[in-house]
Amino acid sequence: MNDYILETRDLTKHYGGVHALEGANFKLRPGEHIAIMGDNGAGKSTFVRQITGVESRTRGEILFDGKPVRFDGPLDAREAGIETVFQTLALADDLDVPDNLFLGREITKWNFLGPFRVLDYKAMRQATLEGLERTAVKIPNIKNSIRNMSGGQRQCVAIARTATFHSKLTIMDEPTAALGVQETAQVENIIRTLKEAGEPLILVSHNMRQVFDLVDRVVVFRRGRICADLDIKAEKITGEDVVSYITGARTQAGFEDAA
Amino acid sequence: MADQTSHGIGGLSYDTSKRTWPNEANVFIALVLLILGFEALGQILPYMDNQSMLLDFESTRDGTILNMARIRIVILQVAIIGIISLGVTQVIISGGIDLSSGPLVGAAAMIVMSFAQTELVNGQLNPKAVFGDWAFDLPIIAPILVGLAFGAFIGAINGSLIAFTGIPPFIATLGMFLICRGISQWWTKGQPVSFPSDQFAAIGSGMMPVVWFALLAIVLALIMKFTVYGKHTYAIGSNEDAARMSGINVKRHKVMVYMIASMLAAFAAIVLSSKNLTAQAGMGQFYELYAIAMAVIGGVSLRGGRGSILGTVLGAMVFGVIQSGFTFIKLDAFYQLMAMGAIIIGAVVLDQYRQRQSSLR
């Protein structure tokens, strides 16, 4: 077992002259839940996009599970075990819940038929029900197409998809930004389930209460740099402290070059 | 509400009374209403002499009171375009469009026929179309393979253009429309190619086009519903980005979708040229539009992701009933075209309205 499930060294991304991410050194221990916070444009989503292989980095190293990795796309990252719930939900609206959960990795029989191999609907339905139960997601009718579901139900399906496949690392980018109170509660329950199962998580969020409720550590981004790494479970840190790091009123010792 | 079930957190609920009504059922109802409408017109219109479109009380030749002769014609005249529409259906479900199928029928028919000719017609030498004497009386497999290979080739170009250059399917297949029309005229410099071997002529004789249409419809329906290929086609049409993120090789899949569509159009060309015993450069005119119309009437959404082969088959039936019905009530051909256009537009407007209603509930 490695000390860190994910580590980035000097991770940097420039879009032309715009330095969206500059020298990010980041570490995630196995089973740890970390929140990434910061103002709009602080580099949170850019950071996530480098890790998940959506974009290729300008400079720096990413070590996943102890080994240096360079993903050519989100698929590579997913095959390596990084599951991501994107801000724009990657669901096919006209398909139902099992179809979406298993999209691109269907359970099939008669595999000699190549692209025309036959779908094992029964097995996928069974696995879907088990996956939903494990993540405590309630969806009344999994045969319903995603189009007919509420935003919260869609989000739950997207998250259940990542949670069903026992990934080594789950990344959620603003999973509750568009949800109502009850739906948010449901998503937060799924996150707690992941924590109990010992699966590590990176949560990008603006919601201070949610962050303090759910995660162990908060990493604050400001203007493309990491400006604070706060162990909120061990140290006495309040929401106001975090806000002052986000706004730039304070910079943690050791991150002075971010100021 | 009595049949509403509620589940713990989130207050999510599902009302079974709002179970979605299958779209195919609507198309079927439309089909029945159209038949009843034409029957009513047969009774009402003064010059119709109380004729019935599908019933025949005087002659019981077929042992039924149905007018089997007319029913056969209704199905037969949509069968060949129906074969094309099966391929077009999966293209539209994948979020694309194929305008090249009509001219492809023309080009494929010319090419196929030049490999299917027989040497002697009534003791006279058959005029050579393209090749020397070696191309006469080839085994039946030759024209079929050549035809399907040509279809696969054209489909591969369509699909590759759309998948790898990113140009809209409309433009790619519009270009191919003209190219294929050109090929069909260039192949024999405009001369028709006629008189195939008896074996080849058997492919499309009598009710065979209907048999092919039914067989292919069943195969395609099973593929779309029960295979990975079908699922990925729906997924790409529904949300291409999601499909890509989920690990589907979207580009390769699109090439396959267009190849299958063009091979079906080429097969339609084989059946059509066999049925007519001749191929002409102008064959297949408007077929691409009729094939798209059948799919659209059958509830296939031009935005992709929605529709079914069963819907398209019912759409083809609606198409056939309208055509036969207009002829039955002695409507002139130009009125037929106008009415057909209006019906296609009406079908799409109705579908959009229905979709909006169901999303508002």
Average pLDDT over residues B117-129: 74
Residue B15 Cα, gap to closest chain A Cα (Å): 9
- Looking at residue A240, its pLDDT comes to 83
Q: Give residue-wise pLDDT tens across range B180-207.
A: 999 999 998 888 888 888 899 999 998 9
- Looking at residue B20, its pLDDT comes to 63
Query: Scanning every residue of chain A, which has its alpha carbon at the shortest distance from the alpha carbon of B224?
Result: A116
Between CA A193 and CA B192 the distance in angstroms is: 72
Q: Do A78 and B8 touch (CB under 8 A)?
A: no
Chain B CB contacts of A185 below 8 Å: 9-10
Q: How many CA atoms lie within 13 A of A33 on its CB side?
A: 24
Q: In Å, how far are A174, B112, B116, B146, B203 from B141, measured between CA atoms?
A: 59, 11, 9, 8, 11
Q: Give residue-wise pLDDT tens across range B309-330.
A: 999 999 999 999 998 888 888 8
Q: Do B10 and A90 touch (CB under 8 A)?
A: no
Chain B CB contacts of A74 below 8 Å: 245
For chain A, the structural domain boundaries read 6-258
Q: Do B12 and A139 touch (CB under 8 A)?
A: yes
Using CB atoms, pick whichever of B9, B227, B306 lies closest to residue A189. B9
- Local structure of B154: helix, strand or coil: helix
Sign of the torsion angle spanned by Cα atoms B97, B99, B105, B107: negative
Q: Give residue-wise pLDDT tens across range B226-251.
A: 999 999 999 999 999 888 878 889 99
Size of interface A-B (CB pairs under 8 A): 104
Q: Give residue-wise pLDDT tens across range A41-69.
A: 888 888 988 888 888 888 888 998 888 98
Which three-class secondary structure string do you get for chain A?
Answer: CCCCCEEEEEEEEEECCEEEEEEEEEEECCCCEEEEEECCCCCHHHHHHHHCCCCCCCEEEEEECCEECCCCCHHHHHHHCEEEECCCCCCCCCCEHHHHHCCCCCCEECHHHHHHCEECHHHHHHHHHHHHHHCCCCCCCCCCEHHHCCHHHHHHHHHHHHHHCCCCEEEEECCCCCCCHHHHHHHHHHHHHHHHCCCCEEEECCCHHHHHHHCCEEEEEECCEEEEEEECCCCCCCHHHHHHHHHCCCCCCCCHHHC
pLDDT confidence band for B23 (50 / 70 / 90): confident
Query: Scanning every residue of chain B, which has its alpha carbon at the shortest distance from the alpha carbon of A142?
Result: B14
Q: Do B7 and A117 touch (CB under 8 A)?
A: no
- Looking at residue B256, its pLDDT comes to 97
Please tell me what DSSP assigns to residue B19.
P
Query: Scanning every residue of chain B, which has its alpha carbon at the shortest distance from the alpha carbon of A138?
Result: B7
Mean pLDDT of chain B: 86
Interface test with A, best of B239, B259, B360 (most A CBs within 10 A): B239
Beta carbons within 8 Å of B159's beta carbon, 6+ residues apart? B254, B255, B256, B257, B258, B259
Query: Scanning every residue of chain B, which has its alpha carbon at the shortest distance from the alpha carbon of A145?
Result: B20
Report yes or no: B311 and B299 within 8 Å, Cβ to Cβ.
Answer: yes
Using CB atoms, pick whichever of B12, B238, B306 lies closest to residue A153. B12
Query: Scanning every residue of chain B, which has its alpha carbon at the shortest distance from the alpha carbon of A146?
Result: B238
Which pairing describes strands A225-231 and A217-222: parallel, antiparallel, or unpaired? antiparallel
Burial-class residue A152 by CB neighbours within 10 Å (0-12, 13-18, 19+): buried
Chain B CB contacts of A148 below 8 Å: 20, 358-359
pLDDT confidence band for B213 (50 / 70 / 90): very high
Report yes or no: A224 and A21 within 8 Å, Cβ to Cβ.
Answer: yes
- Interface membership of A166 toward B (CB under 8 Å): no
- Interface membership of A167 toward B (CB under 8 Å): no
Q: Looking at A160-174, B31-45, B214-228, which range is the least confident one?
A: A160-174
For chain B, the structural domain boundaries read 79-292+302-307
Q: Looking at A67-81, B90-104, B264-278, which range is the least confident one?
A: A67-81
- Interface membership of A153 toward B (CB under 8 Å): yes
Range of A4-18, A177-191, B204-218 with top mean pLDDT: B204-218
Q: Do A93 and B238 touch (CB under 8 A)?
A: yes
pLDDT at B68 over 50: yes
- The neighbour count for residue A149, using CB atoms within 10 Å, is 22
- Interface membership of A186 toward B (CB under 8 Å): yes
- Looking at residue B273, its pLDDT comes to 94
Q: Do B226 and A88 touch (CB under 8 A)?
A: no
- Interface membership of A173 toward B (CB under 8 Å): no
What letter represents residue A9's amino acid? R
Chain B residues with CB within 8 Å of chain A CB: 5, 7-14, 20, 223, 226-229, 231, 234-235, 237-239, 241-243, 245-248, 253, 256, 305-306, 358-359
- Looking at residue A241, its pLDDT comes to 85
- The neighbour count for residue A61, using CB atoms within 10 Å, is 14
pLDDT confidence band for B14 (50 / 70 / 90): very low
Q: Looking at A20-34, B157-171, B173-187, which range is the least confident one?
A: A20-34
Chain A CB contacts of B237 below 8 Å: 94
Please tell me what DSSP assigns to residue B256.
H
Q: Give residue-wise pLDDT tens across range B254-304.
A: 999 999 999 999 999 999 999 999 999 899 999 999 999 999 999 898 888
- Local structure of B194: helix, strand or coil: strand
Mean pLDDT of chain A: 84
pLDDT at B6 over 50: no
Average pLDDT over residues A121-147: 83
- Looking at residue B4, its pLDDT comes to 41
Average pLDDT over residues B45-55: 79
> Length of chain A in residues, anyone?
259
- Interface membership of A119 toward B (CB under 8 Å): yes
- Looking at residue B19, its pLDDT comes to 56
Residue B10 Cα, gap to closest chain A Cα (Å): 5
Chain A CB contacts of B227 below 8 Å: 113, 115-119
pLDDT at B11 over 50: no
Fold type of domain A6-258:
Rossmann fold (3.40.50)
Question: φ and ψ at A26, to 5 degrees?
Answer: -140, 140
Q: In Å, how far are B39, B156, B262 from B159, measured between CA atoms?
A: 44, 5, 10
- Local structure of B124: helix, strand or coil: strand
Q: Give residue-wise pLDDT tens across range A201-241.
A: 999 988 888 898 899 999 999 888 888 888 888 778 888 88
Measuring CA to CA, which residue among B61, B23, B92, B159 is closest to residue B301? B92
Residue A103 Cα, gap to closest chain B Cα (Å): 6
- Looking at residue B3, its pLDDT comes to 41
Q: Do A103 and B11 touch (CB under 8 A)?
A: no
